[in-house]
Amino acid sequence: MRNIVLAILVIAFMLVVSVSIGMCMDSRLDAVRFTAWGTYLAGAGTIVLAVAAIVTGVLAIREYRSRTQAEKVKWLFELFEKFYEGDNYKAIRKRIDYDNLDDIRKAMRQESIGNPPLSDTQKVVLDEFTEYLNFFEMIAYLKQEKQLTQHDIEAMFQYYLRRLLQVDKDSRIRGYIKEQGFENLDRLLVECAKESAHG
């Protein structure tokens, strides 16, 4: 609404300036040159309309950017809530926080060998861990598609990405990520490792 009022004020100002200049010209012209006044007004009107179109376009772009940014913030907040406040990833986050992944590593080894078969408990734990990795695969995909920036990811998830690298002492997790086809997450972790090495 504020942008519409601003556009109307700019147009009104341009009209007042154009008419004022025209009136000054008219007071100095005689009747014979009155046609110059009409030509002037036609030209001034065209200029005012062009300026109004430009101002409206600029205001529309600003409004679009503002709304897009507001939607992105809302969307990022929803990702934050899903990851940090929901229960879906809480157990795995705790395991990563406390470097308590031995049973997950064992389940990964057993699954890749196929012998012995995974127990029901191992299946549940491995499924939870895979869901956790799927979340970060989606985050990495959104970065690749330029829906999230590196800054967004660092601000929200840098700790857990770096922590995932830190607890993977035997590289079994990275191997599992590659085996299971988490290509985007693998690339994101490579970038994260490079940044950790530089920073």
Residue pLDDT, tens place only, 138-166: 999 999 999 999 999 999 999 999 999 99
- Residue 79 within any structural domain of the chain: no
Nearest C-alpha neighbor of 89 from the set 154, 173, 160: 160
Confidence of residue 127 (pLDDT cuts 50, 70, 90): very high
Are 18 and 104 in the same domain? no
Domain span at residue 27? 2-67
- Residue 117 within any structural domain of the chain: yes
Are 94 and 152 in the same domain? yes
- Residue 183 within any structural domain of the chain: yes
- Residue 159 within any structural domain of the chain: yes
- Residue 80 within any structural domain of the chain: no
Please say whether the beta carbons of 49 and 11 come within 8 A.
no
* Alpha-carbon gap, residue 110 to 177, rounded angstroms: 15
- Per-residue model confidence (pLDDT) at position 5: 75
Are 56 and 135 in the same domain? no
> Position of tokens 């967004």?
152
Confidence of residue 36 (pLDDT cuts 50, 70, 90): low
Are 133 and 187 in the same domain? yes
Confidence of residue 30 (pLDDT cuts 50, 70, 90): low
Name all contacts of 94-103 with Cβ < 8 Å and 24+ positions apart.
96/160, 96/163, 96/164, 96/167, 97/163, 99/166, 99/167, 101/167, 101/173
Q: What is the mean pLDDT of the chain?
A: 86
Mean pLDDT score, 169-191: 93
* Alpha-carbon gap, residue 93 to 157, rounded angstroms: 11
Token digits of residue 140: 């990495």
For the chain, percent of residues with pLDDT exceeding 70: 88
Confidence of residue 49 (pLDDT cuts 50, 70, 90): confident
Question: Which of 37, 67, 97 is the last residue in one of the domains?
Answer: 67
Are 59 and 27 in the same domain? yes
Q: How many structural domains comprise the chain?
A: 2
Are 174 and 116 in the same domain? yes
For the chain, percent of residues with pLDDT exceeding 90: 52
Are 99 and 171 in the same domain? yes
Mean pLDDT score, 58-66: 88
Please say whether the beta carbons of 189 and 161 come within 8 A.
yes
- Residue 82 within any structural domain of the chain: no
- Residue 46 within any structural domain of the chain: yes
- Cα dist. 10→16, 19, 48, 51, 90 in Å? 10, 14, 9, 9, 54
Give the lowest-confidence range in 7-11, 19-23, 24-28, 147-151. 24-28
Are 124 and 39 in the same domain? no
Please say whether the beta carbons of 194 and 151 come within 8 A.
no
Are 61 and 22 in the same domain? yes
- Residue 161 within any structural domain of the chain: yes
pLDDT of residue 181 exceeding 90: yes
Are 114 and 47 in the same domain? no
Are 172 and 128 in the same domain? yes
Are 135 and 178 in the same domain? yes
Mean pLDDT score, 102-124: 90
Please, what is the Cα angle at 175 between 169 and 176, to 5 degrees?
Answer: 110
